[in-house]
Structure 1
Amino acid sequence: MKEIRAVIRPQKLPRLREVLRAIPGFPGMTISKVAGCGSTSRHTPNTIKEVLTDFTDKVRIEIIAPDEMADALVDHIVQVASTGQTGDGLVWVTDIQRAVFIRKNVGSDGV
């Protein structure tokens, strides 16, 4: 299994969701609002206000998928999220040793 993480522009999320959900067997995803800055900046903050607000809002997507789906999912993410501009985001893939779905099984005693 693979974990695919991507940080993308928030306005790209609706289209990405549509594209990924159309893939047969798509396993689902978790979305988080995040903010960050790149390693190189066009502007160096000079005041404390600039230092505290020198972050760009992004969305982080996390997907746990079978090995055979990982490359296709990454390709779709890159294709949909790309604008050709600095700050489009990042996608990375890591190996998952084990993943377990958490479910509540209700027994006959209601517990």
Structure 2
Amino acid sequence: MKEVRAIIRPNRRERLRIALREIPNFPGMSMFSAQGFTAPASIDKRTVRDELTDFTEKFMVCVLCPDDMVETIRGVIIQSCSSGQFGDGLVWVLDVAEVHRIRNGELMD
């Protein structure tokens, strides 16, 4: 099992939700409010004030999924959330050792 995480722009949230729901057997997702900023080295001529006050609203998306769904989910996130501009976000994948349902303690595959 894997966890696909992404940081996305707020204006891409609904577009992403619609696209993910179109994936057959999509397992669901969680979304959290986040704040972030683009790495200073990637933007020309920034002032110290810009670097200390440029936090922008973002969302973190988390999807637990079987290994064979990772490529599809990652692709949908990139396609749905890309504007081609700095600050579009990131997507990454983590290994998950175990997942248990709280309801009954059942181990999920």
The alignment's TM-score, normalised by the length of structure 2, stands at 0.85
2:49 corresponds to 1:46: yes
Structure 2 portions without partners, runs of 5+: none
Give the fraction of aligned pairs with identical amino acids, expressed as a percent.
Answer: 44
Q: Give the drift of 1:57.
A: 0.7
2:75 corresponds to 1:75: yes
The alignment's TM-score, normalised by the length of structure 1, stands at 0.84
Q: How big is each residue's C-alpha offset from its partner over 1:9-66, in whole Å with a ceiling of 9 and x where there is no partner?
A: 001010100010111110100000100112224523338xx73x32011010000000
Amino acid at match of 2:96: I
Q: CA RMSD for the aligned pairs?
A: 1.8
The 1:44/1:20 distance shift into structure 2, 3 A limit, reads: same
Structure 1 portions without partners, runs of 5+: 106-111
Question: Which structure has more strand as a fraction of its residues?
Answer: 2
Q: Is the 8 A contact 1:29 1:62 kept in 2?
A: yes
Moved over 4 A (4+): none
Larger radius of gyration: 1
Q: Is the 8 A contact 1:45 1:54 kept in 2?
A: no
Match of 1:108 in 2: none
* Number of aligned residues: 102
